[in-house]
Amino acid sequence: MDKFFDLSGKTAVVTGATGVLCSDMARELARRGVKVAVMGLEDDLTKQIADEINDDGGTAIGVVVDVLDKDSLIRARDAVMEEFGGIDILINGAGGNHKNATVSPNLSFFDIPKEALQFVFNLNILGTIMSTQVFGEVMTKQGRGSVINISSMNAYTPLTNIVAYSAAKAGINNFTQWMAVHFNLNYSPDIRVNAIAPGFFLTKQNHFLLVDEKTGGHTPRAKQILGHTPMNRYGVPEDLLGTIVYLASDASSFVNGVVIPIDGGFSAYSGV
């Protein structure tokens, strides 16, 4: 099976690659011989992660990009093409929630500001679509490629309080299916679009929801989450890497338009 999972010599673009989860994805791809474009908003962080990959024997460049700015995306694409000459894998990792778009004891649903809702929708939906427009266009000219979107368990079962993020991730699932069909029918049967739907991972975006700021222990919400996760733990970044490699490689050559849950059994458990 080694040849089906072989990624050596391919090139990957990873947006949101300065985050906890996607930075590990970038590192794992590099360990497997992929040339990686580490993309994020902060120049220092993108270069730091790229430098770490290069120091470990991989090949990477750090590229600053704003996924909501098409000119920025085009400049990033040009940098990748100049350095690596192609794009085989696109991970649309830029996304996240916003505290002001989350219902809390201090903020009711009826008082959530439009700007916060729009921020979450734009970052998750528009950021994914626009990145696929710009980087996916390269794949249409090559006639091949694998796009991996980042969905969430919230897309299937919306969590209380997280109104904008849940709806936005549901949109990612729909776009994943739409884009998979569109690429195949209009450009090439060898371009695939899939997604992963992580369960609960402790990240910067949800830290304020899951960790009590005063005690450092679990919040009541965190206890509910773990109680409804049969494996009784949060995911760690390494839990995502096997599926990422699978979707990026020829091992999944007939897998298209699917969303794979990686959730410790959360979606399978009814609570009783």
DSSP state of 271: -
Residues 67, 74: Cα–Cα separation, whole Å: 10
Torsion angle in degrees (nearest 10) through CA of 152, 154, 155, 160:
-160
* Active site (catalytic) residues: 165
Residues near 8 by beta carbon (within 8 Å), at least 6 away in sequence:
32, 33, 34
Residues 241, 215: Cα–Cα separation, whole Å: 32
Largest CA distance in the chain: 55
Half-sphere CA count of 263, side-chain side, radius 13 A: 23
Contact 38, 18 (CB under 8 A): yes
Of 192, 188, 91, 182, nearest in space to 145 by CA: 192
